[in-house]
Amino acid sequence: MLDLIIRNGTIVDGTGMPGYLGDVAVKDGKIVARGSILEPAALEIDAAGKTVSPGFIDPHTHFDAQLLWDGRAKPAIEHGITTIVPGNCSLSLAPLKAKHRMKLVGMFNQIEEMPIKAFEEGVEWNWETFEEFLSRIKKDLTINVAPLVGHSVLRLWVMGDDSMQRTANDEELGRMQELLRECLRNGAIGMSTSFVDMDETLQPVPSRYADQQELHALCEVLGEFNRILQIVHEFYDADITLARIDQLAEISLRHKITTTFSPLFVNVTENDSVNRIMARVDEQFKRGARVWPQVQTRPIDISFCFEVPSLLFIRLPSWYQMMRFGSHDDIKAALKDEAKRKQLVAEAATMSPMWDGLILRQVDSDANQQFVGKTLAEIAATRNTSTIDTMIDLSIEEDLQAHFLALNMGHTDNDIVGSLLANPRVHLGASDGGAHILSFSTYGDTGYLFSQFVRNCKALTVEEAVKKITLDTASIWGMNNRGLLHLGYAADITIFDAEQIDRGEEYYVQDVPGDGSRYVRDSVGIDTVIIGGEIAYRHGEYTESAIGSIIPGA
């Protein structure tokens, strides 16, 4: 008897070919039949009116720490995701010597805005090697994980404090190469590096001290295993990005590997830059190089309070310095000091009118509850003051616990983004799932892909959108036996309503270790998510299944 049959759904198999009505059968975690299936099964799902597709794949996440307390990587699965790639941006939780743990925590805190308390209360440090880390997360794994190993931690393991001061010598290069081989043998899908990120002291992360010789030495090892290189490029500068594309192309051709860079952001003022970047990508592909840009579908929602440093303020030096290095009392004192406040207001004015649209999301006092849900412009009008002063005043009144929400930052022209997403040289990425716990509202890329760029803009068909987040991603990242509803492939399956799938307009609170929480958008239109042949999520509820795998596997 079969384990599972999904009946009467529209099968969109990941190839991009037109969908068709039929059944999908599963046994022993594999897809074993498609079409009209008469054989009975232990469990049957009626998918009439729904689309049945391969499980969605998210290639840019930072769930590394969260997997230690949440093997489901919430909220990924409820958005149709069956496979995630953590370890991006040069940072992974292994290999990591015990003496370097807090250094890495500091980097995660600075770069990915992950609370130190979450590490303190949610992470039991009982590994050092990459193999030991994967054994640890396998214990309670529901989602599939294709982990990258971070270049910064390779340097930190081999060079210690010198990794943050200088290039590597030949002996250190050899040790890094062997360490990378060990990680790849034990399940790493590739390596990530960064050319832009800063550590908790606002100094370059270790990967940024590497020279070209080091990068080529490590990519030579990636070539031995046919594994991918991910980089964070200087996304704020088109000219430097073009140079990075050329560099990645040479790496790809020399070592015969796939490379990918993220993020490629889009807004109205940068349309010409995006066209230049994609023209260079096309040029390098024609040479035979594999250089894949990652594009995020959705605008970003940013939630913040003054007590926690937010990357929203990274372009305001006085603000960021105050929030990053000041204590609670230091921050309040600066906000109350007339001269310092005047300086802060003047600096923040350079980012007007963004402040007008900020929404007051949360306060503790009864007096200010009346303003929750209103914009700063609306609140300022009732107080007869400026929006920046209103934001500061509310923060002082709420003992720095006034939380503000900036909605729909970034991607400002869906027609431009749609044409980019339809480009066969682009793949969907840069969700940052698991990061920015106290600020960015992550997730919803997949739902937004269908709602905005399939139904509204009509930049892609349902079949093309499914292919973009299944087969295309699996092929680029070397995930064998995934991304298609073909016989013998892993039974990672997402069932959704193609007319309804979306990122939700509502938020819900997700608990985080260390008495923390984050607000995440809910999902719409996801009916059922199957991972490894077992139902992981159905009708808005998680199951108790624990069937995730490490990809590509040791």
Q: What is the pLDDT of residue 201?
A: 82
Helices (H), 61-145: 101-112, 116-122, 130-137
User: Tell me, what DSSP letter sits at residue 550?
Assistant: B
Domain that holds residue 88: 56-299+411-541
The CATH number for 180's domain is 3.20.20.140
3-state secondary structure of 422: coil
Between 181-195, 307-321, 330-344, 483-497, the lowest mean confidence (pLDDT) is in 307-321
- Number of independent structural domains in the chain: 2
Last residue in a domain, options 408, 437, 465: 408
Domain assignment of residue 1, yes or no: no
Residues 65 and 206 in one domain: yes
Spatial distance between the Cα atoms of 178 and 157, rounded to a whole number of angstroms: 12
Q: What is the pLDDT of residue 381?
A: 93
Query: For residue 382, with 0-12 CB atoms within 10 Å meaning exposed, 13-18 middle and 19 or more buried, which class applies?
Result: exposed
Residues 272 and 145 in one domain: yes
- Cβ contacts of 514 within 8 Å, gap of 6 or more: 115, 116, 117, 118, 119, 120, 121, 122
- State if pTM tops 0.85: yes
Contact 420, 429 (CB under 8 A): no
Helices (H), 302-351: 317-325, 328-336, 338-348
Residues 404 and 279 in one domain: no
pLDDT tens, residue by residue, 419-428: 889 999 999 9
Residues 215 and 131 in one domain: yes
Domain assignment of residue 233, yes or no: yes
Spatial distance between the Cα atoms of 106 and 554, rounded to a whole number of angstroms: 29
> 426-453 in b/e burial notation, b at 16+ Cβ within 10 A?
bbbbbbbbbbbbbbbbbbbbbbbbbbbb
* One-letter identity of residue 542: Y
Q: Which two tokens stand for residue 316?
A: 């305001």
Residues 523 and 468 in one domain: yes
* One-letter identity of residue 414: N
Q: What is the pLDDT of residue 97?
A: 97
Spatial distance between the Cα atoms of 117 and 498, rounded to a whole number of angstroms: 40
Residue of 315 and 145 predicted with greater confidence: 145
pLDDT tens, residue by residue, 65-110: 999 989 999 999 999 999 999 999 999 999 999 999 999 998 888 7
pLDDT tens, residue by residue, 477-527: 999 999 999 999 999 999 999 999 997 765 555 555 655 555 566 789 999
Between 22-36, 83-97, 115-129, 485-499, the lowest mean confidence (pLDDT) is in 115-129
Closest CA to 67 of 57, 76, 58: 76
Spatial distance between the Cα atoms of 446 and 473, rounded to a whole number of angstroms: 13
Last residue in a domain, options 372, 392, 408: 408
Spatial distance between the Cα atoms of 143 and 154, rounded to a whole number of angstroms: 26
Between 108-117, 283-292, 364-373, the lowest mean confidence (pLDDT) is in 108-117
pLDDT tens, residue by residue, 243-289: 999 999 999 999 999 999 998 876 555 568 888 999 999 999 999 99
Last residue in a domain, options 357, 392, 408: 408
Residues 217 and 147 in one domain: yes
Q: What proportions of the chain, in percent to the nearest 5, are helix, strand and coil?
A: 40, 25, 35
Closest CA to 87 of 65, 116, 110, 118: 65
Domain assignment of residue 546, yes or no: no
Contact 184, 225 (CB under 8 A): yes
Tell me the pLDDT of the chain averaged across its residues. Answer: 90
* R_g over Cα of the chain: 24
Q: What is the pLDDT of residue 350?
A: 82
Task: Give the bridge partners for 542, in sequence order.
Answer: 537
**Per-residue confidence at 59, pLDDT binned at 50, 70, 90?**
very high
Residue of 546 and 81 predicted with greater confidence: 81
Residues 404 and 416 in one domain: no
